[in-house]
Amino acid sequence: MTPRTRPGAAALAVVLLTAATGCAVADRAPDRSAPDAGRSRAEERSPAPGGASAPAPFTLVASGDVLPHDSVIQRAAVDAGGAGYDFRPMFSGVRSVVSRADLAICHMETVYGEQGGPYTGYPAFKSPPEVAVALKETGYDSCSTASNHTLDDGAGGLRRTLDALDKAGVRHAGSARTAAEAARPALLEAGAATVAQLAYTYDTNGYPLPEGQPWAVNLIDEQKIVSDARAARKAGADVVVVSLHWGTEWQTAPDERQLGLGRALTASHTGNRPDIDLIIGTHAHVPQAYEKVNGTWIVYGMGDQIAGDMINYEGVHDPRGNQGTLARFTFAPPTAPGRRWEVSRAEFVPQSFDTALGRVVNLNEAIKKGRTQYTGARDAIRAVVLARGAARDGLVMGE
């Protein structure tokens, strides 16, 4: 199996990192003409002097790249018993973690082909739309759709992907079918809180944005991200989550662009409140560190959740390409008006895609059941995740 991008893509990314495009996508937004427009549900429920109860905390789970190579598509055909494609069994190992969260976010890296195919893996992906059904039934509420593969099949592939996610009941952010859709932030419910998801990619593998559609895919631009985050807050978001498709492939350490952009985004404030409450990263193929920067958690890279056997740039099979983490954050409500929702518990759950079985494996759960062959992968993931001192800020390994 070959890697998903050309080695030259990293150099191209540097040139395109500052290109700007439209706002994050959604399929609904609050009525801004209403008297209380812009007020979040949590603010409406905030503690009253008379002793009204405070909103409850909520948990958010996020995971890495869903990247169906040819072998993954073939496995889904086998799991469907010859009747189409069934990706649900692949996700079954993490369903208990994902479905228990108040809000679960995935990264749908590829676009979908026409119903019935043909479907392709690397280098220009067209995945079966049945992936969307599996994401929904696993418990995912929303997916980032901005990646270097978003335009692998042009505007048609982008449209089919969002149509299929809509049909399955999965929200999305990062790409759009219309300018109006691109201009609305994705607002999601998580208990008493309203969460905005924004998503951006470093590049589209050199594919140009569709003619007349500069808003089709969100490209990384610091000022645009901050502007979008502030707009989402005004639209009623209590918590703003930014999904970034960034970094250097096969590199476990975050690169200088990730570090610099992460510092800048987490330093951005409006008044006493940060503009962004969480950054979750994808793209590098391998797990990367978690770090608390300027009081805000950054997951530089969650690794691949589903992918075929991965070959690195040295032409060698690299098992790290099938390793990743589920990030799980518990947000506690503000302690006073105008304050942020604070992360009260930060966790990572190590996972791996067993290509022989065609299944995502919750490594801690598997090891507890005696499958000790996963111990080395679990320990390697933990070392990478904690490499930038996240344990000192309270990050723990969950199950």
Whether 4 has a pLDDT exceeding 80, the answer reads: no
In tens, the pLDDT along 68-88 reads 999 999 999 999 998 999 999
State the chain's mean pLDDT as an integer. Answer: 89
In tens, the pLDDT along 267-284 reads 999 998 999 999 999 999
Whether 160 has a pLDDT exceeding 50, the answer reads: yes
Whether 47 has a pLDDT exceeding 60, the answer reads: no
Separation between Cα atoms, residue 178 and residue 215, nearest integer Å: 8
Separation between Cα atoms, residue 198 and residue 204, nearest integer Å: 17
In this prediction, residues 209-220 reach a mean pLDDT of 98
Integer distance in angstroms from the first to the last C-alpha of the chain?
Answer: 30
pTM, two decimal places: 0.88
Separation between Cα atoms, residue 262 and residue 243, nearest integer Å: 12
In tens, the pLDDT along 278-302 reads 999 999 999 999 999 999 999 999 9
Between 3 and 63, residue with greater pLDDT: 63
So where are the chain's domains? 1-24+53-184+283-399
In this prediction, residues 385-396 reach a mean pLDDT of 98
Whether 343 has a pLDDT exceeding 90, the answer reads: yes
The C-alpha torsion from 107 through 108 and 109 to 113, rounded to 10°, is 180
Between 50 and 113, residue with greater pLDDT: 113
Would you state the pLDDT for residue 52? 58
Would you state the pLDDT for residue 163? 98
The pairs formed by 297-301 with CB atoms below 8 angstroms and a separation of 24 or more are: 297/329, 297/343, 297/346, 298/262, 298/266, 299/62, 299/325, 299/327, 300/247, 300/254, 300/258, 300/262, 301/64, 301/247, 301/254
Whether 20 has a pLDDT exceeding 70, the answer reads: no
